[in-house]
């Protein structure tokens, strides 16, 4: 067993983990932050995306011990300080960028990383960036529209599907 300590959503947390404990399992099982989803266990779906030291990471590909000392952000830390939805979450709601909601936390976390690095992406850039995230419900059109809207771009010309 190893002792780990990290900052998660602005709060210092610690715990004892086996060497094989994945970051996603530590977040969900030890910290009860269940918004980070386990979808495939093979890093294909992106439902487990979190931010580690400001970078988007599939938390099913990282051991909890590797995040020792890191600053970790999860979907639970995305809301505004008053608890209201942030601009990305609101855009997903406004533009129906979700259906069942399973992929949504990973999509929101990926979007936050994309918009940090590229504040005004093109539709092609958004679609390319999302290649590591799978949604089985929406067909991506409204997710792309939501991301474009979250970036402050006019989406009125994008037809609803």
| pLDDT(159) > 80 | no
State residue 138's pLDDT score: 76
Q: How many CB atoms lie within 10 A of CB 144?
A: 22
State residue 161's pLDDT score: 53
**Distance between CA 53 and CA 24 in Å, rounded?**
15
Task: Answer yes or no: are the C-beta atoms of 27 and 74 closer than 8 Å.
Answer: yes
Q: Mean pLDDT over all residues of the chain?
A: 95
pTM above 0.75, yes or no: yes
CA 39 to chain centre: 13
């Amino acid at each position: 067993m190893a002792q780990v300590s990290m900052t998660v959503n602005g709060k210092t947390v610690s715990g004892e983990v086996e060497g094989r404990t994945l970051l996603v399992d530590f977040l969900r099982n030890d910290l009860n932050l269940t918004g980070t989803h386990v979808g495939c266990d093979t890093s294909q779906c992106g439902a487990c995306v979190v931010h580690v030291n400001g970078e988007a990471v599939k938390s099913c590909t990282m051991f909890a011990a590797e995040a020792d000392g890191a600053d970790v952000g999860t979907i639970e830390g995305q809301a505004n300080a008053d608890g209201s939805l942030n601009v990305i979450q609101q855009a997903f709601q406004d533009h129906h960028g979700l259906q069942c909601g399973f992929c949504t936390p990973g999509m929101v976390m990926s979007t936050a990383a994309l918009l940090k690095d590229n504040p005004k992406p093109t539709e092609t850039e958004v679609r390319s960036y999302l290649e590591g995230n799978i949604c089985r419900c929406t067909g991506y059109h409204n997710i792309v529209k939501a991301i474009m809207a979250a970036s402050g771009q006019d989406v009125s010309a994008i037809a609803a599907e």
